Structures are given as C-alpha cells and as structure tokens.
Structure 1
Amino acid sequence: MKTLIIEDEQFAADLLADLIRGVRPEAELVGVLGSVEEAVEWLRLHQAPDLIFCDIHLSDGSSFDIFRQVEVRCPVIFTTAYNQYALQAFKVNSIDYLLKPVKREDVAAALRMYDESRQHYVAAGLGNLQGLLQTLQAPAQRPLRSRFLVKAGPSIKVVQLPEIAYFQAEDAVVFLVTHEKKRYIVNFTLDQLEEQLDPQLFFRANRQLLVHITAVREVKPYLKGRLYLLLSPATAEDVFVSSSRAAAFKHWLDS
C-alpha cells in the first residue's frame, strides 16, 4: 500500500507515519508534503498513491485547493483539529477523517474502511469527494457574519462588514482593519474567521491576511507565479499570494 502524507507540521506527520507503519508494516510511505503548492506539483508529476492522508489547513492555504487544481484518483483520509461543521460534512459524504491528536485505533479503523471501500472508490469515491468540496464551500450552510463587536477604549463598537478592509494576524493577535485605517483586536484566528465570512467577499491571501474584495486596489504578477497585492489601506509589509493560490485568487476577484 503506497501512502502519501500531506501535513505541514513535522511532528504530526512523523506521528502519523509511525502510526500507519504500526498498523500496516507493509505500507510504503512515498512522500510527506507540507503545502498546497508541493502537493499539486507532486500529484502532477507522480502516479497516484493508493491512499492519501491529508491535513485540512496547510502552510499556504486549505488542502481543498489541491483538489481544485489537480484530479486525485485515490481515496483521501482527512485529518483535522477543526470544527464540528467540517466533521459532519465528512460523515455525510462518506470520506473518513481523523480528529487530531490522531490515535492508533483511529488509523486502524480508517484503514479498515479503506480496505472495504477501495474496490468501489473510483466509481463512487470521487463523486463523494466533489460532494464534500461543494458542501464545505456552500455559502448557505455557513454561519456567515454581517458585523463584529469590538472593543474601542472603554466602549464596545459595532463594525459592519462593508467597513472591513481585511483581518491581519500579527504574532498571536488578529486585528480587524477598516477602510478608515482603524484597527481593533478580534478574538478569532484567521482560520475561524474564514469559516464565518462569505467566501465571495473574503479571500485568504496568505497565513497573515484575510482580505475583503473591496480592499484590493491592484494586482501585479511577481516571481515564480506569485501575485503582489496593493491594498487599501496599505499594509506595512508586502502582500503576496502564492503561485498555488494565484488562479483561485484571480477567479475570486473576477467572479
């Protein structure tokens, strides 16, 4: 059984590899990839493995971006530390998942499911995967926000969605930045905010920035297929979209 691991945390990848070998000593690990970009390139250049273990949140975006860019003709078992909404989607679409921290019994159960379903995967599994992507992307099923309550000195202020230019992560703090250059701390991670906001209005440009479409002033091609963004208001640091996210970003901007 040839297995590919897509996981950006080295410790988690090593642990998963050890668990797989412990349950299936004959398993051959053909690669460990840490980003969307790496995974897309690997899958385009190599024959599909028998099975992929794939984390949802990678160093340069969501693992679902992989499946938008390249056809994956093998079973996928997702790993996640995130919310119950995603877990329910996996159940509905009959694709197994492992909830972090991953345990030996979880891997064993997932591999038993793989054994039982692999004969029918090409016929049924790919449709399930596409259904999963559609379910996770469907705006109607997301708890979309229209405003945020933020602390402004001794007061509480309501910030409406059209006022927001972007959310920016700095160290362990996430700031809401308005078009008027006001900055407010919000008690959410960018991953959490992605799930709460309309994907037609907000795009995860990189690990530090979740951008409202009205904040994008100009887009310039950059080295190695990346995009350089000019935002309003401007950020202190240069903003780039990786080559693996560039096509999705341009589609979002033009849709």
Structure 2
Amino acid sequence: MKILILEDEIPAYKKLTSYLDDFFMGDSYDHDWSRSINDGKEFLMNNGYDFILSDIQLLDGISFDLFDEIPTNCPIIFCSAHDNYLLKAFDTNGIAYILKPYTKSDFTKAIEKYQSLFNKGTYHKINKKTIHNLKSALQSENISFKKRFVIKKTNGIQLLNVSDISLIEASGDFCIATENSGKRHTISMNLGTIFKQLNPNKFFKINRSEIISIDAIENIESHFKNRLLITFSGGKDKVMTSSSTTSDFRKWLEQ
C-alpha cells in the first residue's frame, strides 16, 4: 500500500499519519508527503499510489491545478475546511472529502467508503471537467468573503485590507480593527456582522468580543480555567480565548 499525502500544515500531516497508523493496525504501508504543488508533481510523475490524501490549499497554490496537469486514476480524498459551495460541488461530482476539523471516525469512514467504491469500479475518477467544476466552486466561495473595509476618517475615506488585520474588537455598536503594523481603525459594524463576512479559515472568534487572524498569531500560552493567552502582531497586550472556545480554537489551529 502506497499513499501520497498533500498537506502544507505540519500538525495536519502528523494527524493524518497518526490516523493511518491506527487504520492499518500494523500492516505495512508507505507514504510520500508534499507540502507544495511543485514537489507533489515530482512524486506523481515518478510513482504510483493506491490513494491520495489531499488538502486543497498548498504552499504554492491549489491541489486542483496539480491534478489538472497530471491526471491520476487512484482515489483522492480531499481534506477540506470549506463548507459551502465547494462541498456541494464535491457531493455533485461524487468526489471524496473529509471536512476539517475531522475525527478519527470521520477519517476511517471516508477511507473505507472510497476504497470500497474504487474496488467495485463505482468511484468517480477525477477528470478535467470535474476539476473545472471544483475550481469554479472554490472561486465562488472565495468571492463571498470580505476583501476590504471602507474606513471613514476625518480627512476622507481609507480602505483597510482584510489581509492586514490582526485583531477585531467589539466596542459598543462599532468595532476596532488592529493592523499588523499596530494601527487601529473604527469599523461601523458590530462584531457578529463582521465575523459572518470573514473567511473562517483565516479568522476565529476567540471570545464574545474578539476575532483574531491566524496569520497574526505569534505565540500561544496555556492559562487558567482552560484558556489560552495569545500574542499577536500589532498588539501591545495579549488576548485570551474563553473556556468555551478553547477546544474549537485548538482544532481550528490544526486545519
């Protein structure tokens, strides 16, 4: 049994190999691991695999582009954090996926199901038409997320790119957004409205009044009552998860 793992996040890769070890229960299997399309291309060109476990977003692009360039006949199980247009496209095209954050049970069921379908010859092999549909769904999903906010200043209007935001804090009926540089801006929306417009892969609501960007996290420390202290870029003070969000926050970090 030979497996290719396409996963750019190291914690997620370790989670997959741990589940594979448990799934095969001592039976021998071999695997290759790539964090990028470029390395994945080399593996696919020079090896054959029984199945592939693939994230969608890799270090240098999306895995759909890799499968578009190098066709494969083996089952592909996508490990995805997307839960809107893209999962509907997976269902429509009969492509396997595991929704992050997934459990060992989710993982086992997915592999058993698609091994069975493939052995029976009823697995839907991924082809260029399917890849085109998946890319279109991914593009539609990405478009739905907020890209920038319009900030009203005394001297005019300023655009604040979402990618520059490290933290958003509730402040009455408004919110304060902190940039990675430390600059602070007032956004004329409440926290709940803002959160619904942000990419859930990038932003997490760590408590009732604060949203943090994963790209801004610099350090995480354990704190009392199952809470975590977070140091983030641009912030003078640390922020803290609530006891009720800590578990989901840990899972979110491993996506």
TM range (shorter): 0.5 to 0.7
Deviations 1:137-176 (A, max 9, x none): 338x82657x9652142599698xxxxxxx794584899x
Instruction: Tell me which amino acid in the other structure corresponds to 1:28.
Output: Y
- Counterpart CA distance in 1 for 2:100 and 2:118 is 24
**3-state DSSP class of the match of 2:33?**
strand
Alignment partner, residue 58 of structure 2: 58
Alignment partner, residue 80 of structure 1: 80
Deviations 1:184-214 (A, max 9, x none): 999756x88xxxxxxxxxxxxxx9xxxxxxx
Alignment partner, residue 178 of structure 1: none
Cα distance change, pair 130–151 in 1 and its aligned pair in 2 (3 A): same
State the Cα distance separating 1:106 from its structure 2 match: 0.9
Alignment partner, residue 196 of structure 1: none
Alignment partner, residue 98 of structure 2: 98
Instruction: Tell me which amino acid in the other structure corresponds to 2:132.
Output: Q
> Taking structure 1 as the reference length, what is the TM-score of the superposition?
0.56
State the Cα distance separating 1:94 from its structure 2 match: 1.2
- Counterpart CA distance in 1 for 2:152 and 2:59 is 32
- Counterpart CA distance in 1 for 2:52 and 2:153 is 49
State the Cα distance separating 1:82 from its structure 2 match: 2.1
Alignment partner, residue 10 of structure 1: 10
- Counterpart CA distance in 1 for 2:186 and 2:47 is 44
Q: Which runs of 4+ in 1 moved over 3 A?
A: 128-132, 154-159, 167-175, 184-189
Alignment partner, residue 138 of structure 1: 136
**3-state DSSP class of the match of 1:83?**
coil
- Counterpart CA distance in 2 for 1:185 and 1:12 is 36
Write the mapping of 1:210-249 to structure 2, written as runs, cut at 5 A.
Answer: none
Write the mapping of 1:48-197 to structure 2, written as runs, cut at 5 A.
Answer: 49-121=49-121, 125-126=124-125, 128-138=126-136, 142=140, 150-153=150-153, 169=163, 172=166, 188=198
Instruction: Tell me which amino acid in the other structure corresponds to 2:101.
Output: P
**3-state DSSP class of the match of 1:125?**
coil
State the Cα distance separating 1:136 from its structure 2 match: 2.3
Instruction: Tell me which amino acid in the other structure corresponds to 1:137.
Output: K
Cα distance change, pair 138–7 in 1 and its aligned pair in 2 (3 A): closer
Q: Mind listing any 5+ residue stretches in structure 2 that lack a counterpart?
A: 168-177, 180-184, 188-193, 203-214, 216-255
- Counterpart CA distance in 2 for 1:27 and 1:130 is 33
Instruction: Tell me which amino acid in the other structure corresponds to 1:132.
Output: T
Q: Mind listing any 5+ residue stretches in structure 1 that lack a counterpart?
A: 160-166, 176-183, 193-206, 208-255
**Stretch deviating more after TM superposition (25-34 or 5-14):** 25-34
**Larger radius of gyration, structure 1 or 2?**
2
Alignment partner, residue 41 of structure 1: 42
Cα distance change, pair 106–124 in 1 and its aligned pair in 2 (3 A): closer
- Counterpart CA distance in 1 for 2:55 and 2:120 is 24
**3-state DSSP class of the match of 2:52?**
strand
Cα distance change, pair 44–171 in 1 and its aligned pair in 2 (3 A): farther
- Counterpart CA distance in 2 for 1:2 and 1:64 is 21
- Counterpart CA distance in 2 for 1:64 and 1:93 is 14
Q: Does the 8 Å contact 1:79/1:99 carry over to 2? A: yes
Cα distance change, pair 34–185 in 1 and its aligned pair in 2 (3 A): farther
**3-state DSSP class of the match of 2:124?**
helix
